[in-house]
Each structure stands twice: as C-alpha cells, then as structure tokens.
Amino acid sequence: MNQHSRRTNIVEARGLGKRYGRTWALRECTLAVPAGRVAALVGPNGAGKTTLLNLAVALLAPSAGEITVLGGRPPGSPPALDGIAFVAQDTPVYKNLSAADMLHLTRNLSRRFDQAYAERRLAELGIPLKRKGGQLSGGQQAQLALTLALARRPRLLLLDEPVAMLDPVARHDFMTTVITAAADDGMSVLLSSHVLTELERVADYLILLARGQVQVAGEVDDLLASHRILTGPAAGAERYAERPVVHSARDGTLSRLLVRAGAGDAVPPGWQAHPVGLEELALAYLRAPGGREPGPSDAETTEATI
C-alpha cells in the first residue's frame, strides 16, 4: 500500500444519521474507513447497512451529520460519481436487455469504461453477449453486475448483500473476483453481507452496525488480537466482573466469555484462553446487551451461544 493510501479515508462519517419519520435508520454514525481495504459492513436486518451505503452514493440525503468519500469528496459530486461503483442488493440487471446491451448502456453513462476488459471477463465466465439478463442464472447475473461495476475502474466499490442469494460455488467465485480486482487495481471495497464465513476469508477491516449505530470498527487483525475467548467453571465467571466482557454464555458448569484483553493478561488457574475468529467476534457484539460498549454489567451469563 502506498503512502497516499495510508493517509486517505475512502469513506468518512461524522455524527451521520438518517431518519424516516420518527424512526432513525442510522444514528450518530462516526467512522473512517482507510483506503486500500476490503471492509466488511456487518449487522442484522434493519441495522442501517443499506442506509449507510445509499448515503455514500447520494441515493439518500443525511438527516444529521455528514459523510464524505474518496478522501473528502461529497457524495454525488462529479469526482465521486466517477470514482465509485455500486452494486445494489439482488445484483440488479435488466431482464430484457442482452449482456451486450448492458455493456453499451453502462459505457454511455460512464466517463470511462473498459469495454475490452468487460468483454474479456464475460467470455472467461462463459456469459454470451447476446444472452438476455433474464436468461442468466443467479450467479451469472451477479457476475454480470460485478463486471459492469469493475469495468468502470472505480477507486471504491460498494457492494450491498451481493451474494445473499447465491449458491456456495457462485458466492466463492464472486468474492474471489472482488478480492483479485482489489489486489490488482488497488481498489477499495466496502461490502455489506450476512455471510460471515465468507467475509472472514476476504475482509481486512470490520465495521459492525447494530441498532442503527456503529458498535465496533477497525482492522480485523487488530480487533482479533485485542479479544479472546475464555472458558472455565461457571462458578468462577464473577471474577471477570471488572473486565470488559463483550458476551458470556454458559453450558452447564462451563462458562464461555469473549473479553477484551491485552496480550499480557494472565489467565487464572482452571481457565483456558483461545483465539477468536471474525465470526465469533461479530456475533458476540451483535448479542451484547443494548448495543453498549462492553462493561462490567455485560458479564452476566445467558443461555445464548456464541
């Protein structure tokens, strides 16, 4: 990654909020996503993921706060429109237009479009240019939508649940294309998805949204290094009342705690420490009571599993 990428935030929000009537879909959202990352935007339905992405491409206007893209550009400005490609939910393609027609349409709507790349990629995928969108499989439609986005050579690619309806093979192939393009072109990616196992393979930055607010955000490696799973006797769980427990669960006489922890923190006798994975970390924060930063009261045991 070059020095410019280290300094630039590809998406930055300060106190960002979006309200529909009396309901806040997103509230007090403050984050900074560095350039050059494949950033995973994770959260349950209604968490505000789609709202955040729509704000980033100016499909919505904020009710509060502000958001900038591409190192400080306003969403919807000409530089932002040129530098961002967006694949919305369900990877929409025009069912009655051929792949060639969609390439032509996208080329006419873009200031730069790599026609040769798009045609070559569709040929490699076995997608005939004369085939209509409605005649393609779900995986082929997703790949066509992604090809149209990548052929615009964006600095930032936004993907909103692009693999939710795909089978495992199509999902794997789609995400492989994304990470290959990001590595080859230095493109930044902000990806919303429920498929945590797939994100663990590709993401190096995590943003967790729940109840319309950012719960945690940061480099995946740093987040994983600063958390651990502790297992031990349920009767001894109260000793962690003073520690930052994100989530706890109990199975009979065994307690399982996900805690914020430093590398030098001692593990008490009778307990074991285990590394945490991205899926475990995300689920723990989603289950944290009330969406708060973890505190002493979060050490209460529950019957849920992590």
Cα–Cα distance for residue pair 118/28, rounded to 1 Å: 39
Domain membership of residue 305 (yes or no) is no
Give the CATH number, domain containing residue 19: 3.40.50.300
| CB of 213 closer than 8 Å to CB of 28 | yes
Q: Choose one of 221, 250, 272: the last residue of a domain.
A: 221
Asked whether the CA dihedral 142, 143, 146, 152 is positive or negative, the reply is: negative
Shared domain for 195 and 174, answered yes or no, is: yes
Residue 233 belongs to domain spanning: 226-299
H helix or E strand, kind and range, residue 103: helix 99-109
Same domain, 185 and 259: no
Residues 230, 217: one domain? no
Does residue 49 share a domain with residue 178? yes
Cα–Cα distance for residue pair 123/118, rounded to 1 Å: 9
State which H helix or E strand residue 190 sits in: strand 188-192
Residues 279-299 have a mean pLDDT of 61
* Structural domains of the chain, count: 2
In a domain, 89, yes or no: yes
Express each pLDDT in 107-128 by its tens digit.
998 888 999 999 999 999 999 9
Final residue of a domain: which of 194, 221, 248?
221
Q: Are residues 126 and 198 in the same domain?
A: yes
Q: How far apart are CA 71 and CA 65, in angstroms?
A: 17
Are 214 and 239 contained in the same domain? no
pTM, entire model: 0.84
Q: Report the 10 Å Cβ neighbour count for 287.
A: 18
pLDDT at residue 295, as a whole number: 36
Assess whether pLDDT exceeds 90 at residue 196.
Answer: no
Do residue 268 and residue 215 come from a single domain? no
Beta-carbon count within 10 A of 34 CB: 19
Does 306 reside within a domain? no
What's the confidence (pLDDT) of residue 7?
A: 56
Least Cα distance to 18 among 281, 213, 291 occurs for 213
Residue 181 lies in a domain: yes
User: Same structural domain for residues 117 and 214?
Assistant: yes
The answer as to whether 95 is a domain residue is yes
Judge if 36 and 171 occupy the same domain.
yes
Residue 167 lies in a domain: yes
Backbone angles phi, psi at 27, to 5 degrees: -145, 135
Mean pLDDT of 56-81: 95
Same domain assignment for residues 163 and 285: no
Domain boundary residue among 221, 241, 260?
221
The C-alpha atoms of residue 7 and residue 212 are separated, in whole angstroms, by 28
CA distance 219 to 208: 12
Distance CA 255, CA 94 (A): 52
Q: How sure is the predictor about 267, in pLDDT bands with cuts at 50, 70 and 90?
A: confident
Whether 201 and 234 share a structural domain: no
Q: Is residue 81 domain-shared with residue 201, that is, in the same domain? A: yes
